[in-house]
């Protein structure tokens, strides 16, 4: 993978939010093109950075540094690998959620409706479940739930129904086949937005993204030192809501947990009251940053 295609989102703001100690232990949960990791490494002297990425393509971007430990696994295994490498607690963690720019631009990965490719969408290419299986094997109720919960589509049931009718005549195997099937439902003035929601729904289901994020945040709360920083960049409301609720209320549902005395039971305090978003100039250079939201929190 050519590194010139990777532009790290909110680079200064996110890495600055870690408040890096030169001798600290840090985690980049989503290594990708290595942009955030490279910036973190600049501030480390005797410290270490563990960088996670389950995508085999990310390994092509490994940075030559004795301060970096690259882990080719999903960040849901955070605690396992911290234990394996002998790190009981860490000083900070950064997670840039979503799909890498590289993967969006590779047609055969099937992440984008802009290209024709197999309905795949696996971030971990050794995983078994693909978007093609979901489209061709899930029943109407389950498809409806995915489109409604993960894509927030108002016509989720109709979308599932149209897909079931089409697949009865033949298997739906590619991204453009799927787009053609649901074309009658696509609003002309918001075609890209509608298709993005459909593809987002499938991607989240294939990779179990929301469940993995919950597991990850729960583990981060255990492994961060007091005063340690949690930095998360999200790209859609479902992710951002989970992160925001966890930071502010200590609960993913948004229900406030209180102790016997009525104090909120959150393990974190928000460093920034509102999410940080990219500047107009950053979006101009990197359009994919447009939907990014950055939240920074400190362990109590």
Fold of 104-207: DNA polymerase; domain 1 (1.10.150)
Element (H, E) at 91: strand 90-96
Residue spans in the chain of domains classed CATH 1.10.150.170: 104-207
Mean per-residue pLDDT, 132-139: 98
Residue spans in the chain of domains classed CATH 3.40.50.150: 3-102+209-299
Helical spans, DSSP H, in the chain: 11-17, 35-42, 78-84, 101-104, 131-137, 140-151, 156-167, 175-182, 191-207, 209-223, 237-249, 280-285
Please name which of 61, 67, 68, 90 lies closest in space to residue 78, comparing C-alpha atoms. Answer: 90
Instruction: Identify the weakest region by mean pLDDT among 102-106, 122-126, 205-209, 270-274.
Output: 102-106
Mean per-residue pLDDT, 97-106: 77
HSE-CB of 256 using CA atoms within 13 angstroms: 7
Tokens for 9, please give them: 């989102």
Contact 31, 58 (CB under 8 A): yes
Fold of 3-102+209-299: Rossmann fold (3.40.50)
Q: Which pLDDT does position 5 carry in this prediction? A: 43
- Is residue 228 helix, strand or coil? strand
With a cut of 70, say whether residue 70 has pLDDT above it. yes
Q: Which pLDDT does position 56 carry in this prediction? A: 87
With a cut of 70, say whether residue 3 has pLDDT above it. no
Mean per-residue pLDDT, 6-31: 96
Mean per-residue pLDDT, 11-40: 97
**Cα 127 to Cα 223, 228, 239, 269, distances in angstroms:** 27, 33, 22, 36
Mean per-residue pLDDT, 167-194: 96
More confident residue, 249 or 157: 157
Q: Which pLDDT does position 4 carry in this prediction? A: 39
Q: What percent of the chain has pLDDT over 90?
A: 83
More confident residue, 4 or 63: 63
pLDDT tens by residue, 248-281: 988 898 777 666 666 666 799 999 989 999 999 9
Length reported for the chain: 300
Q: Which pLDDT does position 6 carry in this prediction? A: 67
Question: How far is residue 263's CA from residue 80's CA, in Å, rounded to a whole number?
Answer: 32
The reported pTM is 0.92
With a cut of 60, say whether residue 109 has pLDDT above it. yes
Q: Which pLDDT does position 266 carry in this prediction? A: 77
* Mean pLDDT over each residue of the chain, to the nearest integer: 93
Q: Which pLDDT does position 262 carry in this prediction? A: 66
Instruction: Identify the weakest region by mean pLDDT among 54-58, 83-87, 262-266.
Output: 262-266
């Amino acid at each position: 993978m050519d590194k010139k295609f990777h532009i790290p989102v909110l680079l200064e703001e996110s890495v600055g939010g870690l408040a890096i100690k030169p001798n600290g232990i840090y985690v980049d949960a989503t290594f990708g093109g290595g942009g955030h990791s490279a910036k973190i490494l600049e501030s480390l002297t005797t410290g270490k950075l563990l960088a996670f990425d389950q995508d085999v393509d990310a390994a092509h971007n490994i940075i030559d540094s004795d301060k970096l430990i690259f882990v080719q696994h999903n960040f849901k295994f955070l605690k396992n690998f911290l234990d394996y490498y002998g790190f009981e607690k860490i000083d900070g963690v950064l997670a840039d959620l979503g799909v890498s720019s590289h993967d969006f631009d590779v047609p055969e990965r099937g992440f984008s409706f802009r290209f024709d490719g197999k309905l795949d969408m696996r971030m971990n290419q050794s995983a078994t479940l693909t978007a093609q299986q979901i489209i061709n094997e899930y029943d109407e109720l389950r498809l409806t739930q995915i489109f409604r919960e993960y894509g927030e589509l108002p016509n989720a049931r109709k979308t599932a129904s149209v897909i079931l009718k089409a697949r009865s005549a033949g298997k739906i195997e590619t991204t453009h086949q799927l787009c053609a099937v649901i074309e009658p439902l696509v609003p002309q003035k918001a075609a890209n937005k509608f298709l993005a929601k459909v593809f987002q729904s499938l991607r989240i289901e294939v990779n179990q993204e929301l469940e993995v994020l919950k597991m990850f945040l729960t583990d981060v709360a255990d492994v961060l030192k007091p005063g340690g920083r949690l930095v998360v960049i999200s790209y859609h409301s479902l992710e951002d809501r989970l992160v925001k609720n966890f930071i502010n209320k200590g609960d993913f549902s948004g229900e406030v947990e209180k102790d016997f005395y009525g104090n909120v039971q959150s393990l974190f305090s928000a460093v920034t009251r509102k999410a940080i978003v990219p500047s107009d100039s950053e979006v101009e250079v990197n359009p994919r940053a447009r939907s990014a939201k950055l939240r920074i929190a400190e362990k109590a």
